[in-house]
């Protein structure tokens, strides 16, 4: 398992070693993991890991799971994993794919899954973009991008996950009627997202009034990032779009 070895190298050596040719901007590791968290990476990540071989071509999400799933959902940058773990537990017939390059976040998700039967969760412990490029048309029913790094400095705006190109990618890989859920507590990033999403003719914003995007849906559990934003006096925005 190449990705697991690279993940552990990042932990053991304190050096970030990207596993793809795309330049990654962001953290791959944080505080030194405690022994229990390290054990989760070693013992449980190989059971959940998605490995992309070097051959070109599309990869069907169904091939990631041992049993047939009703549909497949993707979360990009799952952070501590609490949202992904909650969704997986409450939607046992859905195959969940989580992308997260931050080693500590991967260990946190594995901790949330520990003790359960996580047959419907697969993890891509790296930048999501190489995986997105390999997914076929209309293979996902739902995509989550919750509280991504806003990269607030103007010169860093091109590092944001939401770009014109990624919006087009989301349109390509979502099924008609599929849903894209976005969240941010940064007003400038909110405007950035809405500019790109509302300009795409293939997406319909589901909000009808301001309350709709300031109220978190019932099937959307709170994350640590949302709680942190609220405690700091910031008002999160919950943006839901339907793929037409």
Determine how β-strand 71-76 pairs with β-strand 94-99. Answer: parallel
Q: How far apart are the first and last CA of the chain?
A: 38
Can you tell me which residue has the tokens 């609490």?
82
Predicted pLDDT of residue 19? 45
**Tokens standing for residue 173:** 């890989």
| Tokens (6 digits) for 226 | 């949302």
| The pLDDT of residue 226 | 93
- What pLDDT does residue 10 have? 46
Please state, as a whole number, how many other Cβ atoms lie within 10 Å of the Cβ of residue 118: 20
Give SS3 for 243.
Answer: strand
Confirm if 184 and 236 have CB atoms less than 8 A apart. Answer: yes
Q: Give every residue of the chain whose pLDDT is below 70, as ranges.
A: 1-31, 114-118
The pLDDT value given to residue 149: 93
Classified as helix, coil or strand, 178 is strand
**pLDDT tens, position by position, 202-213:** 999 999 998 899
Query: Catalytic: which of 149, 185, 186, 219?
Result: 149
Our answer to whether residue 133 is catalytic in this structure is no
CATH numeric code, 2-52+61-243: 3.40.50.150
Tell me what pLDDT residue 30 has. Answer: 53
**Tokens 């490029």, located at residue:** 133
DSSP string across 97-157:
EEE---HHHHHHHHHHHTTS--TTEEEE-S-SHHHHHHPPTT-EEEEEEES-----SGGGG
Query: Which two three-digit tokens encode residue 212?
Result: 């709709």
Phi and psi angles of residue 146, each rounded to the nearest 5 degrees, phi first: -110, 120
The C-alpha atoms of residue 113 and residue 124 are separated, in whole angstroms, by 15
Q: What is the DSSP string of 158-177?
A: GGSS--HHHHHHHHHHEEEE
Which residues sit opposite 124 in a β-bridge? 99
Residue 195 CB coordination number (10 Å): 11
Give the pLDDT confidence of 83-95 residue by residue, as tens digits.
Answer: 999 999 999 999 9
């Amino acid at each position: 398992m190449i990705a697991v070895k690279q993940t552990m190298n990042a932990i053991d050596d304190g050096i970030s070693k990207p596993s793809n040719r795309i330049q990654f901007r962001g953290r791959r590791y944080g505080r030194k993991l405690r022994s229990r968290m390290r054990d989760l990476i070693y013992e449980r990540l190989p059971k959940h890991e998605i490995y992309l071989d070097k051959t070109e071509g599309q990869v069907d999400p169904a091939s990631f799971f041992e049993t047939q799933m009703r549909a497949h959902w993707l979360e990009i940058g799952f952070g501590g994993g609490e949202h992904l773990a909650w969704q997986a537990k409450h939607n046992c017939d859905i195959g969940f794919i989580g992308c997260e390059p931050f080693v500590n976040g991967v260990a946190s998700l594995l901790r949330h899954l520990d003790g359960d039967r996580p047959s419907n969760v697969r993890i891509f412990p790296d930048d999501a973009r190489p995986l997105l490029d390999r997914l076929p048309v209309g293979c996902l029913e739902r995509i989550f991008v919750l509280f991504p790094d806003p990269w607030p400095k103007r010169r860093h705006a091109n590092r944001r996950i939401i770009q014109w190109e990624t919006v087009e990618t989301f349109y390509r890989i979502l099924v008609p009627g599929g849903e894209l859920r976005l969240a941010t507590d940064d007003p400038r990033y909110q405007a950035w997202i809405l500019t790109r999403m509302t300009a795409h003719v293939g997406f319909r914003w589901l909000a009808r009034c301001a309350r709709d995007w300031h109220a978190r849906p019932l099937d959307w559990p709170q994350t640590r990032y949302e709680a942190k934003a609220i405690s700091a006096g910031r008002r999160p925005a919950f943006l839901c779009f339907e793929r037409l």
